[in-house]
Structure 1
Amino acid sequence: MRSIDTFKKTLEKRGHKFFIFAPSQGGASKENRVWRIPSLPLPGQKDYRLALPVFSDFNFLPQLPKINIIHLQHIFRMGSFGLKLARQLKIPAMLTYHTMLVDYTNHIPIIKHSGFLKSLVRGYLIRRSRRLANRCQLVIVPSKPILAELRSYGVKTRIEILPTGVDLKRFKPPKMKLPPQSLVYVGRLSEEKNLKMLFSAFATVIKKIPGAHLFLVGDGPDRKAYENLVQKSGLGKQVSFTGFLDQNKTAEYQAAADLFVFPSVTDTQGLVVVEAMAAGTPVVVVGKLGPGEIVKHGIFGFKTKNNPRDFTDKIIELLTNDKLRLKMKKAAQKEAKNYAQEKMAAKLEKVYYSLLK
């Protein structure tokens, strides 16, 4: 996970050591201070693994050096394991709540069309979130809407807002060239990212701006379906799917674009939005959850309603106004400095120390 990797690498430069417990994964290379827990692939989700319940004996404890804090990143098996380990070692446990899990019930095929099943699963997720969070000494969330959501679940534990930072050094003037009036989306190609709304909006955009081009950077379970949809909609020549790219190549696309578009309504932060800002690219986002909190409307981008018409209007406004885009470009880069990974890591370090007092 990007968030874990970013904080880990930045805090290691400040002298800290991390020991990672993660589900086993085929092809994963051996890493120093990483323990792999037996796991199985989650049905229908090849990118996710389900850890197996084999943690009761803690027979690896003699191999561990002194640990000060257990930082949980998951509310399911790995979260329960971390909490048990913290109690075994008699040290504080904290949780980062990364994902609005209840929103994903709208996108799981076997339950999304059943009101009863959806209600059942939502109730379970809320209870599970509340129980684990309230057994920790502290919870971190990436944005205010997530804090409010957890409070509505009945979470009483101390909560701190701490977004994941970005590596500003990666975002330099682009070496690559994209066609004029290019839009870029970066992220997973899956239903919860609301990409059908983006395609609908873009179909209207090219009626007004025939030369516009949309690049989708990333991969996911619905890529093939989206490629077929784009072809059937007659957008094939003006929509490109790049597939998965490494972080440096992704940064090139973000910097070379005229506009970054992000229609997701489920992202708790929207790290790629901040990265686009760091690249000096104005953004258009649906004004919900993390992206809705990050973007200052009219300053370095636009927040829209979750409908194609509003999204289309803001895209066209920016693509047809060079002066406004240039103004927003400078404002975006300035705002992104507030999310520098060094600043965010220093804040997390203070949180860690507060638990050790």
Structure 2
Amino acid sequence: MRIAHFCDSHEGRPDGVSRSAALTVSLLRAAGHEVDLVHPGPLLTRSAEAGRVRSIPVPRRQVRVALPSPRPPLTGPPLTGPPDVIHAHTVGPIGMTGFRLAERWRVPLVMTWHTDLLAYADHFPEIPTGAAWCARQLRLGWSAAEFLELTRPGAVRRHRLAALGQAMFARLAVAIAPSPKTAAGFADFAPLPPVCVLPTPVLPVVTVPLARLKRPGAVVLSVGRASAEKNPELLLQAFTHLRRTVPDARLVMLGVRQARAALCRRIAELDLAASVEMLPPVPPGEVTAYYRAADVLAFSSTTDTQSLVLAEAEATGLPVVAADPQLAERPGGGPPRPTCPPEPAAFAAALHRMLTDATLRAEVIDAGLAATAAYPPELFLSRLVEVYARSRTAELPA
């Protein structure tokens, strides 16, 4: 089977979308499928070289934006003709190219909904702008008043973004949700195509030795961006509560690159400077080492659609506490992972129990390891190929 993947997250970016797309492509190629990956590349790259599209970096962000084109730019290498299936991972310029080529070539379009755009619109001003651009690319015929609704926070903008989502889902042969939480959120985009819940699996990673955490005190680890949509304020407030009952606890925030100055100021205001360490993103092997050196993973985001870090931590035997009850279900099944309401006191209490209740801790570790073992990459791949086969029998949009 020949599948073309379209992703606006550039290669090597430390986010779940880029890693999920790269892993999916790698697994498909290893299984003998012919796979193209279209993604952002350097500004001076040759057109369509190795699937890379010319892009420019966004200042102060780990993001590259592909240069838009009035028509789909990839009609030569690597896409020399229609694939059997087009798989979009994003809805930026490259993702929209996938939408337009699927329509032009009359091939089924599959999409993995990696990002909760309704939630992210409250944190990123570029999302309403990008939504307006997508509406034009999809030729939705909105009036000026309808476009202006994207500038109005709250229910008005949410309604307009839901209308855009409905138009996108109407073009899909199959919609992939990386978690039951995400699948439930698809209700905003009804009527829906067939929906498949298909989480991204985790791969074993060779651990790089790590000595810097070998200091006294329980280590609470956070992995990922600390920008507003990840709710670092909840994490810091909960940690403040936790230190009242676990005075020697330390918080390690791994993967912080954006908004470091503001975060440092907030840490100082809460009198946590001596107990919090911020570290930049590190390679996967080093991330695994941090998992193994920590005592609990604290996950404060309520906007994630799956969060690979949860399963990654569980695969190393690190218990997690998530402040999002909708992410309780593990990809491999079994008992739900520990969650709590997104409130500082509740989050702190859940972390305290995980650090001090040996019986609970052992049960959670065993459940996490069992769930990871029950959902190997081979199972993900077989289900994904079934999705592609199903999409090829679906009736294409008129």
Task: Provide closer, same or farther for how the CA distance between residues 227 and 150 of structure 1 changes in structure 2, counting only shifts above 3 A.
Answer: same
Instruction: Name the counterpart of 1:14.
Output: 31
Instruction: Name the counterpart of 1:131.
Output: 167
The match for 1:200 among 237, 246, 265 is: 237
Q: Under a length normalisation based on structure 2, what TM-score does the superposition of the two structures give?
A: 0.79
Task: Provide closer, same or farther for how the CA distance between residues 171 and 311 of structure 1 changes in structure 2, counting only shifts above 3 A.
Answer: farther
Counterpart secondary structure, 2:338: strand
- Whole-Å Cα distance in 1 between the matches of residues 22 and 347 of structure 2? 33
Where structure 1 has 5 or more consecutive residues not aligned to the other structure, the ranges are: none
Could you tell me how far 1:19 is from its partner in structure 2? 1.0
Pair 1:211-2:253 in alignment: no
- Whole-Å Cα distance in 2 between the matches of residues 295 and 58 of structure 1? 35
Pair 1:185-2:222 in alignment: yes
Task: Provide closer, same or farther for how the CA distance between residues 317 and 166 of structure 1 changes in structure 2, counting only shifts above 3 A.
Answer: same
The match for 1:277 among 311, 314, 339 is: 314
Specify the code of the residue in structure 2 equivalent to 1:126. Answer: A
Task: Provide closer, same or farther for how the CA distance between residues 126 and 53 of structure 1 changes in structure 2, counting only shifts above 3 A.
Answer: farther
Could you tell me how far 1:246 is from its partner in structure 2? 0.6
The match for 2:98 among 82, 86, 91 is: 82
Task: Provide closer, same or farther for how the CA distance between residues 292 and 331 of structure 1 changes in structure 2, counting only shifts above 3 A.
Answer: closer
Retained in 1: the 8 A contact 2:110–2:172?
A: yes
Task: Provide closer, same or farther for how the CA distance between residues 295 and 200 of structure 1 changes in structure 2, counting only shifts above 3 A.
Answer: farther
Counterpart secondary structure, 1:294: coil
**Alpha carbon RMSD of aligned pairs, Å?**
3.2
The match for 1:234 among 247, 271, 276 is: 271
- Whole-Å Cα distance in 2 between the matches of residues 10 and 150 of structure 1? 27
Pair 1:170-2:205 in alignment: yes
Instruction: Name the counterpart of 1:141.
Output: 177
Instruction: Name the counterpart of 1:91.
Output: 107
Q: Under a length normalisation based on structure 1, what TM-score does the superposition of the two structures give?
A: 0.87
Task: Provide closer, same or farther for how the CA distance between residues 259 and 49 of structure 1 changes in structure 2, counting only shifts above 3 A.
Answer: same
Q: CA offsets, 1:191-239, max 9 Å, x none?
A: 0111111101111211211111111110242222112211232211211
- Whole-Å Cα distance in 1 between the matches of residues 154 and 126 of structure 2? 9
- Whole-Å Cα distance in 1 between the matches of residues 73 and 342 of structure 2? 49
Retained in 2: the 8 A contact 1:194–1:264?
A: yes
Could you tell me how far 1:105 is from its partner in structure 2? 2.5
The match for 2:363 among 311, 324, 327 is: 327
- Whole-Å Cα distance in 2 between the matches of residues 293 and 62 of structure 1? 38
Pair 1:107-2:123 in alignment: yes
Instruction: Name the counterpart of 2:135.
Output: none
- Whole-Å Cα distance in 1 between the matches of residues 301 and 329 of structure 2? 13
Retained in 2: the 8 A contact 1:300–1:332?
A: no
Task: Provide closer, same or farther for how the CA distance between residues 254 and 266 of structure 1 changes in structure 2, counting only shifts above 3 A.
Answer: same
Retained in 2: the 8 A contact 1:184–1:254?
A: yes
Specify the code of the residue in structure 2 equivalent to 1:77. Answer: P
Retained in 1: the 8 A contact 2:255–2:279?
A: yes
Counterpart secondary structure, 1:215: strand
Pair 1:244-2:281 in alignment: yes
Instruction: Name the counterpart of 1:64.
Output: 80
Retained in 2: the 8 A contact 1:41–1:48?
A: yes
Q: CA offsets, 1:71-123, max 9 Å, x none?
A: 011224323311221233332111111111111122236999x9934444423
Identity %: 25
Retained in 2: the 8 A contact 1:6–1:341?
A: no
- Whole-Å Cα distance in 2 between the matches of residues 40 and 121 of structure 1? 28
After superposing the two structures, state which structure 1 stretch, 334-343 or 249-258, moved more. Answer: 334-343
Specify the code of the residue in structure 2 equivalent to 1:185. Answer: S
Task: Provide closer, same or farther for how the CA distance between residues 63 and 57 of structure 1 changes in structure 2, counting only shifts above 3 A.
Answer: closer
Specify the code of the residue in structure 1 equivalent to 2:278. Answer: F
Where structure 2 has 5 or more consecutive residues not aligned to the other structure, the ranges are: 1-17, 129-149, 394-398
Counterpart secondary structure, 2:35: coil
Specify the code of the residue in structure 2 equivalent to 1:124. Answer: R
Counterpart secondary structure, 2:385: helix
Counterpart secondary structure, 2:297: strand
Matches within 5 A, 1:27-42: 34-42=50-58
- Whole-Å Cα distance in 1 between the matches of residues 230 and 345 of structure 2? 18
Retained in 2: the 8 A contact 1:42–1:49?
A: yes
Instruction: Name the counterpart of 1:338.
Output: 374
- Whole-Å Cα distance in 1 between the matches of residues 109 and 346 of structure 2? 43
Retained in 1: the 8 A contact 2:169–2:189?
A: no
Pair 1:350-2:386 in alignment: yes
Pair 1:317-2:334 in alignment: no
Retained in 2: the 8 A contact 1:194–1:265?
A: yes
